[in-house]
Structure 1
Amino acid sequence: MSGLSAALRISRRNARRSKWRSALILAMIGLPVALVSFVLSALFGPGPVPDRQHYPLGQADALVTGAREWTGVTQDAWGNRIAAQPGNDPTPFTPAEIAAALAPGSRIVPFAQADFRYLTPQGYDIGQIRQVDLNDPMSRGTFRLTEGRLPTAPGEAVVSADRLAPDTAPGVTLFVGEKRRPLRVVGVALFDLTGTPPGLVAFPGSLPDAAFGPVHPELMSRGWLVDSPRPVTWADVRRLNARGLVVVSRTVVEAAPPDEAPSRVRVSSLTQSAPWVAIMLLEVVLLAGPAFAMGRLRRSREFALVAVQGGSPAHLRTIALADGLLFGVAASLPGAALGVGAAWLARPLLERRAGYLLGPFAAPWAAVATAAALGVLAGLLAALAPAVAASRTDPVAVLSGRRERGRERAGRPLLGIVLVVAGTAATVASADHELGWIATSALVTQLALVALTPALIAAVARLAARLPLPLRFAARDAVRNRGRTAPAVAAVMTAVVALTAVGVTWQSRLARNPAYAQSHPQAPAGALWIAGTNLTPGLWDRVRSAVREEVPAGVPLVEARTLTSRSGVPVYASVPDSASDVSRVEWSDATESGGLLVGNDDLLRYVLRRDDPQAVAAFHEGKAIVLNPVVVRQGQVRIDVSPAVARGDSAPLTLPAVGIRATGEGWARAVVAPEVAAKNGYGTATAMLMVDPADFRVPRATAERITAKVERISGKAIVRLEAPEAPDDTFLLVVLGIAAAVLVLGMTFVATMLATAEARPDLETMSAVGAAPRVKRAVVAGQALVIALLGSATGVLAGFAPGIAAARQAVPHHAEVFLRPDGVQVTAPADDTSTIAIPWLLVGLLVVALPLLAALGGAVFTRSRLPLPRRRIT
């Protein structure tokens, strides 16, 4: 221990002397540890999202809901898995009845929540509105106000941060429900994720209780928060169940065992992340290795003095390894603390980005300590090769000013070659498995290439015999100092492998996308369409005017409408597409039509893609034109309907129909005239405007102007031009190009500085025999070129296999179902796994541009004046 203590004191003294080198090593080790600690704390610090309650407890002791008619109520501790006989038209309890059922002295606060359709200045929206007094202490902990103030009177509300938009910002008045009750937004808040987070929270009395619908045992749409003078026990819960109440008690919930232990999930996550952590550790070791080697070179005289005074090779090795231990501890501990602290400080920003409140912060100290330990291990591993070199110090050669005889050997590459082949084969075979398997097999290949790097450098030096002097000198200097050059080349190679793999995966995914802007065609080729059921008639008039300003006069605008109730609430119509009536479209398409469009002859021609006299005649007779004749039975079609804001079931709609197939792909399931809708008790509302390409093909520049105008009118409309568009890989090239420039150039410059320092005696000799000043610049440029080019070329070749495997692994092996704006459900086949695209611009940047840039930087930032040889007194 005394020897280690002395070695640490020596390392500390040398660290103070070389402040810039020390800062560089601390950054190389500390920043990855800080990054990993930040990610671990940000992901696992808040804990799992609760999924047991229908309403957050906050500071309340309990919450209750129920009705007089409920019988046989049973529940679990969290108020889930409720069994009850709700009866017909259940009657909610009054506040007095609730207070009488609870312990004497209890205080109750009512709450209610349900989905509503409300009008904003930019159109309609649908979301959950909660009604409760946020100023009451029992609501504390369920929200955090970020802007404005809390509601203090009926008619005021706060909006959730994830629903904040220009048309819901503080100061805007919204109109809720069919009776258009006003709600003025006075603030913005983040809400707890327990249950369903609300879009708006209104002050009590803003909406009548009846607007929230009947009391239901599982929805918990209406109830009371309870502040009890004593804990609400499980016996109290069962007693209240017998009276028709469902109860969620804080005391019961805190005492109940968790549903599932998250340890298995976390162990699985850690197992999947292990190869990525190992790759990062390898990169840190290779990055910091040249810096430790530079320190060993500058301290060679110190090691020689220790050796001549009786220091053994073990002593020299301990002194050099002490550098790794000192820097590892000094970088990892503050790095881990910095990552945890940054995650805690970033919680408000993370919550704003997420749009909801995170759980109580608890740093995963075991994972953070593991990251710090890996940082210390990285420091020791990075200092290992320089420590071995220090133990072989030749004191006579160092103290006399002569170069030490190199002892690096290229070794036998057979084992490395076998591992490269095995790792590459495993990478290709892992394409059908999880991404962690690809990373693990790629890591095996990386380690094999790192082991092969010295032999690769020796092979390159043999090929450089006929190159110009600067390149020939750089290649031979690299092979003569493989202990310094190999880590630098391996570090560049490891970074380039990752960048190439990401580039191949990303480019392949882009290449497999269809030639349309948004995955699949949503309308006839060349059509311009605007969809949005949430726009008011006034907004649609402004949209029409904006479109007519851009298209030639006389070009018709095809209008598609959807069903509404008499009061104007959208009605979702589900048109079957098979004889068995098993296919139902989910209520999530852009028009909320379910495939049933209402319009005139222009719409019929647009949908069928031709003029059809038979269809027009049937259309004018009041029949539905169904594009799948199989679903027409006995001259009729049965359509299921439901309101946008469900408050009960609606009777199906049966219409006389005729089946007519479209030319090509039909762009609806059924078309009816407005008179048919009115005859059956429904209104209509505009849902889409289209410019038929048969009438006019809108140029892209015109479409962009229309899009800009519509976006200024309302953010609730979708504008799209159905025109081929090549995948845009600009973002890919910019991101990967910046990362490549930082990593490759940074590693190359550090290694070049070390090579220049070691080559000083050779440069002195060149100066003595009359070499020109530009020779030094050429030599340094050659050293940078050899390191960058060798690492980049090898890394690109090694990165193809994991990139191709990841590209094939990322392809979904099942068909994807999506909904078009006309409400038709379409099943798209899985992507073709045979499409593999190589990002040649990125490859050119890595193999050509960056090595040349590294050489240019080495030449520019090097003094051209050669050092004069020092006279030595013998």
Structure 2
Amino acid sequence: MKTWLHSWRAAIRIARRDAWRSKGRSALVLAMIALPILGVSGLDLTYRSSELSPAERAERSMGTADAIFRDAQVEGVPILQDPQGEMHTPAKDYKDQAWPNGRTDVTKTIPAGATVLTDRSGSAKLTTAHGLLTSEVRELKASDPIARGITTLLSGRHPEKTDEVMATSHFLESSGLSVGSTLSARNFDRTYRIVGSYELPDALGADQVNALPGAFLDPYAKAVEKSGLPAPDTSTAYLVKKSGGFTWNTVQQINTKGVAVTSRAVLLDPPAESEVPLYAKEGWRAWDSSPGADAAELAAVATVVGLAMLEICLLAGPAFAVGARRSRRQLGLVGANGGARSHIRAIVLSGGLVIGVAAAVIGTVLAVVLTLALQPVLEDMMKQRFGAFDVRPLELLGIALLAVLTGLLAAIVPAVTASRQTVLASLTGRRGVRRSSRVLPLIGLAAVLLGGAIALLGSLVTESFVIVAGGSAIAELGVVAMTPALVGLFGRTGRWLPLSPRLALRDAVRNRGRTAPAVAAVLAAVAGTVAVSTFMASSEAQNRAAYEARLPHGAVSTFVMEEGGRDVPAVREAVQRHLPVDVRADVERVAVGKPGCDPWGGGGQGCGRYEVVLPKANECPLYATALPGAGDPSEKYTPDQRRKMITEDWRCSQSSGGGWVSVDGGLLVGDAKVLQVLGVDDPGAVKALAEGKIVSFSRAQIDKNGTVGIKQVTDIAAADKAMEKGLPAPGKVSSVPAYLVPEGQKSYGVQLLMTPATAKAAGLATLPAGAYFSTERMPGTEERQKLDGELAKLGSNVDLHVEQGFVNDDSLFLIALAVFAGLVTIGAAGIATGLAQADAEADLKTLAAVGAPPRVRRTLSGFQCGVVAAMGVVLGSAAGVLPAIGLRLTEEREAIGYYEEAIRQGWDNGLSGPPYVPIVIPWETLAGLLVAVPLGAALLAALVTRSRGALARRAAT
């Protein structure tokens, strides 16, 4: 034991001195190992620090209160909730009865003697330096001790008067206001002075204004209603502080009164799932990840870590090999003085251990320092403040051990190779001749065949991505194992090459221990890039084929559905002023009730909605309306009948013609210009509009009398009760003569179109909705930015769309992937070239001695780098296509299975035909990798290499 310890101490001392002497090589290997450790440790520290503890989450949501009380909006009937108070449902099942929907007086459920702080929120369009900005308005006395922790005051003070507010820093930045400025809201004549700036620790990007309770929302609601518009919705929560807090049993007792509770005590000590009645109801459960998902995630992380370690070992291994070769005289002296082969291996392995430990220490320390220094930047990126700086020593130690393990693994092969050299060969500097292993290529070939078979089986028989990915990984490792033999095959092409590339290729083949790992590293990087690029290029082709344009190319649409279309004229003028508009077609929408009602029937008292009546004879039997408890109407048909209905019955295969409009039922009110902008070339439709008919793009909406029925529903409550009973909603039906546009005309989501005169004659009220625009050319980026800036000043939610056709959002990612692969390739080839130059210095001096011109040194260096890059890129491109094809075939099987199941079940999924899942090879990316990367690596290496080396005496033999 003592001898073993002393020998390793001596080996580590020798390795440390050797690493210090060769600072450049040691720094290179150390950086390769330390950078991943730095990244992983930084991610661990960031994740753990950003992950809030239950106590921190409770403080940010309820301050120092013991619970938050909220109305469940179920008319006070008993409810069941989860421990967090985020999910709840009535305790009773209401399958065949009307669902309870009404308010509850929460204040009656608050225990006597408790301290209560009201937290009320709503929204308003606030005036800013640039125009209007829709923001949240919160009425919470933030200076109260109960609210401590919910907000963080940055500057100024809390509001103390009813005409004072404070605003989040993000709101001040977006609005152009500051502490001391005044603000108001649209339809509101009161002004407020901003006295402070604050932030929400969990939402740094929130636009919020804080006022005292009752100071803003109620007066603002009255002012809005006075202008004829519905008051905005508000929500109220109660922060309750009580001695003893609220246990889970107490929370369940309060639930019986229709109130949901978020309790601090329950958050800190949650009950078991078996004690939560909500999880026992069908369809409700704790949303935890499944063991299978956890295993898959763990496998993915292990795969990424393993591939990263393999890449580092492949790149760092040659450096240790060259270091051992340059120290062969020293290692020979160890053998000459009685050292065994185990001592030689220990010295080389100690080099990996020393650099691994140094990389672990440096990477971990830098991770802690940089995470602390960059914490404000990281918090701004994640839009939330961290909790306590959480350092998990065991996790960091495990990550650091990966660095040590990586260093040792990278030094194993060089250590074994160095220990096999004889003492005489080491002392004389002779390398000897060793045949390449014949077993390793066979093992690699077997792995390639096995992995390819597994991937093929997974793609053709199963729908598991894991099997395909696992088989592809085995095949790629097999190619890595075959790399030395493949390098030898490349060497046979040298007979047809000029002097410099022939020398470079033969040097690479002769020194496979140095060349093969670098080629394998390039192979791994390029294979991953080619696989992802092929997969994404194929997905792009699939998305391009499935893309449905919302408008003709270059056309523009705008819709404003809030406040009765108040800002529609301003939006129309802004578009016409900033974009190259050719034809403008104004459109309106049918409105029922007060002008500010939501077009889908919301908005409160006095608001209604309309429905386009679907004739009973035109209703698809698969989707027919059924009475409560009658079951799914499609269940009475066989799969073959469902398939036939979906594919042959026109009632079950209605298409919208692509696109989508922000109007219920696709019913618009406009003139013939709408048809012109949409590219509908049908004189009959233009004539029908002029004759007072409604133009329909859907055959199903026209009844046997040739009319379209539009029902005005004024009593929303009665309509909802009728729907729950399976009955039609009560309302007045207006029948309008219709004209059916022939098939083949794309409507871009518009189902029905009639003129304002026709709507008025049918007794339908209309409100401005927006406009369609055709353009003389595609609007430019600068024009779009100017338009967006002007629309932002209006403060309205404008649905603006400029049809640019299919845009590939992943193109930048593909370019980044190619650049990454190029950098790794050039880096690996550069490392191999630098090691080759250090290893072949004697050969270069011999070339100079026999009269070789100075440029030979430079060209030889360039070709050495290019040869490594070219071999790695060629092998990586071939290895990367396999997993991409396997994954695409698996996706195709899954899509076909989904399509067949949808047809068999009669699902209305808008499936127009069998799925299109193409396999596309990204030839541009491959060409860039195969040509540009090796050429760039060769040129770069040639440029940074000196033409002349230092003269030295020939070594004595």
- Any idea what SS the aligned residue of 1:204 has? coil
Distance 1:671 1:453 in 2: 67
Alpha-carbon contact 1:45-1:364 (below 8 Å) kept: no
Distance 1:339 1:124 in 2: 43
Alpha-carbon contact 2:79-2:259 (below 8 Å) kept: yes
- After superposition, what is the alpha-carbon deviation per residue over 1:583-642, rounded to whole angstroms, capped at 9, x for unaligned? 999xx9663545222223433666692456688667765x75443242345755355879
1:93-172 correspondence to structure 2 within 5 Å: 101-102=111-112, 104=113, 106-113=114-121, 129-144=137-152, 153-154=161-162, 166=174
Query: What residue number does 2:771 align with?
Result: 689
- Any idea what SS the aligned residue of 1:813 has? helix
Distance 2:213 2:506 in 1: 82
1:596 aligns with 2:667: yes
Distance 1:271 1:352 in 2: 31
Cα deviation, residue 813, structure 1: 2.8
1:204-243 correspondence to structure 2 within 5 Å: 204-205=213-214, 206-208=216-218, 221-234=235-248, 236-237=250-251
Q: Which residue identity does 1:547 align to in structure 2?
A: Q
Query: What residue number does 2:929 align with?
Result: 846
Alpha-carbon contact 1:47-1:359 (below 8 Å) kept: yes
Query: What residue number does 1:503 align with?
Result: 533
Distance 1:591 1:18 in 2: 69
Alpha-carbon contact 1:639-1:654 (below 8 Å) kept: yes
Cα deviation, residue 310, structure 1: 0.8
Alpha-carbon contact 1:492-1:792 (below 8 Å) kept: yes
1:371 aligns with 2:442: no
- Any idea what SS the aligned residue of 2:472 has? helix
Query: What residue number does 2:918 align with?
Result: 835
CA change 1:769–1:162 in 2 (3 A) is: same
- After superposition, what is the alpha-carbon deviation per residue over 1:510-529, rounded to whole angstroms, capped at 9, x for unaligned? 3333379xx42102355343
Deviates more, 1:623-632 or 1:264-273: 623-632
Distance 1:504 1:243 in 2: 58
Percentage identity across paired residues of the two chains: 30
Q: Residue 415 of structure 1: which of 443, 448, 454 is its match?
A: 443
1:452-601 correspondence to structure 2 within 5 Å: 452-514=482-544, 519-525=547-553, 527-533=555-561, 537=566, 540-541=569-570, 543-544=572-573, 546-547=575-576, 551=580, 556-563=583-590, 566-572=594-600, 575=612, 579=619, 591-601=662-672
Alpha-carbon contact 1:506-1:732 (below 8 Å) kept: no
1:599-618 correspondence to structure 2 within 5 Å: 599-603=670-674, 609-610=680-681
- Any idea what SS the aligned residue of 2:142 has? coil
Deviates more, 1:49-58 or 1:36-45: 49-58
Distance 2:912 2:549 in 1: 14
Alpha-carbon contact 1:123-1:539 (below 8 Å) kept: no
Alpha-carbon contact 1:575-1:584 (below 8 Å) kept: no
Distance 2:483 2:885 in 1: 24
Distance 1:671 1:384 in 2: 77
1:245-256 correspondence to structure 2 within 5 Å: 246-256=260-270
- After superposition, what is the alpha-carbon deviation per residue over 1:99-130, rounded to whole angstroms, capped at 9, x for unaligned? 7x33x4x4221112356677888888877654
Distance 2:655 2:148 in 1: 43
Query: What residue number does 1:92 align with?
Result: 105
- Any idea what SS the aligned residue of 1:513 has? helix
Distance 2:74 2:805 in 1: 62
CA change 1:224–1:619 in 2 (3 A) is: farther
Distance 2:58 2:212 in 1: 22
Distance 1:122 1:540 in 2: 19
Distance 2:62 2:328 in 1: 67
Let me know the Cα RMSD of the aligned residues. 4.7
- Any idea what SS the aligned residue of 2:586 has? strand
Query: What residue number does 1:655 align with?
Result: 734
Query: What residue number does 2:34 align with?
Result: 30
CA change 1:854–1:54 in 2 (3 A) is: closer
Q: Residue 56 of structure 1: which of 50, 54, 61 is its match?
A: 61
Alpha-carbon contact 1:122-1:539 (below 8 Å) kept: no
Distance 2:130 2:666 in 1: 25
- After superposition, what is the alpha-carbon deviation per residue over 1:12-42, rounded to whole angstroms, capped at 9, x for unaligned? 2222222222221111111112223333444
Alpha-carbon contact 1:420-1:448 (below 8 Å) kept: yes
CA change 1:708–1:262 in 2 (3 A) is: closer
Distance 1:348 1:659 in 2: 63
Query: What residue number does 1:711 align with?
Result: 788
Cα deviation, residue 763, structure 1: 2.2
Query: What residue number does 1:389 align with?
Result: 417
Unmatched tracts of structure 2, length 5 or more: 93-98, 225-232, 274-285, 601-609, 626-653, 722-728, 900-907
Q: Which residue identity does 2:667 align to in structure 1?
A: L
CA change 1:760–1:365 in 2 (3 A) is: same
Cα deviation, residue 840, structure 1: 2.5
Query: What residue number does 1:780 align with?
Result: 861
Alpha-carbon contact 1:559-1:603 (below 8 Å) kept: yes
Distance 1:831 1:202 in 2: 57
- After superposition, what is the alpha-carbon deviation per residue over 1:693-722, rounded to whole angstroms, capped at 9, x for unaligned? xxxx6222x565653442231145455554
Distance 1:676 1:751 in 2: 79
Query: What residue number does 1:670 align with?
Result: 752
CA change 1:143–1:376 in 2 (3 A) is: farther
Cα deviation, residue 384, structure 1: 0.7
- Any idea what SS the aligned residue of 1:64 has? strand
1:189 aligns with 2:199: yes
Cα deviation, residue 268, structure 1: 3.5
CA change 1:158–1:590 in 2 (3 A) is: farther
Q: Which residue identity does 2:327 align to in structure 1?
A: R
Unmatched tracts of structure 1, length 5 or more: 214-218, 817-824
Cα deviation, residue 319, structure 1: 0.9
Alpha-carbon contact 1:608-1:662 (below 8 Å) kept: no
Cα deviation, residue 364, structure 1: 6.3
Alpha-carbon contact 1:162-1:355 (below 8 Å) kept: no
Cα deviation, residue 772, structure 1: 2.2
- Any idea what SS the aligned residue of 1:415 has? helix
- Any idea what SS the aligned residue of 1:208 has? helix
Cα deviation, residue 409, structure 1: 1.1
Q: Which residue identity does 2:538 align to in structure 1?
A: S
Q: Which residue identity does 1:456 align to in structure 2?
A: L
- After superposition, what is the alpha-carbon deviation per residue over 1:171-204, rounded to whole angstroms, capped at 9, x for unaligned? 684637x77877777646345489x999665542
Q: Which residue identity does 1:699 align to in structure 2?
A: R
Distance 2:912 2:40 in 1: 38
Distance 1:652 1:485 in 2: 82
Cα deviation, residue 417, structure 1: 1.6
- Any idea what SS the aligned residue of 1:731 has? helix
Query: What residue number does 1:820 align with?
Result: none
Alpha-carbon contact 1:785-1:852 (below 8 Å) kept: yes
**Structure with greater helix share of residues:** 2
Distance 2:711 2:381 in 1: 41
CA change 1:785–1:626 in 2 (3 A) is: closer
- After superposition, what is the alpha-carbon deviation per residue over 1:375-400, rounded to whole angstroms, capped at 9, x for unaligned? 32211111111111221233333333
Distance 2:364 2:242 in 1: 43
Distance 1:686 1:345 in 2: 53
CA change 1:308–1:460 in 2 (3 A) is: same
CA change 1:838–1:184 in 2 (3 A) is: farther
- Any idea what SS the aligned residue of 2:852 has? coil
Query: What residue number does 1:257 align with?
Result: 271
Q: Which residue identity does 2:119 align to in structure 1?
A: F
1:751 aligns with 2:832: yes
- After superposition, what is the alpha-carbon deviation per residue over 1:798-835, rounded to whole angstroms, capped at 9, x for unaligned? 1111233345566783899xxxxxxxx99466995553
Deviates more, 1:452-461 or 1:635-644: 635-644
Q: Which residue identity does 1:689 align to in structure 2?
A: A
Alpha-carbon contact 2:49-2:389 (below 8 Å) kept: yes
Distance 1:116 1:601 in 2: 37
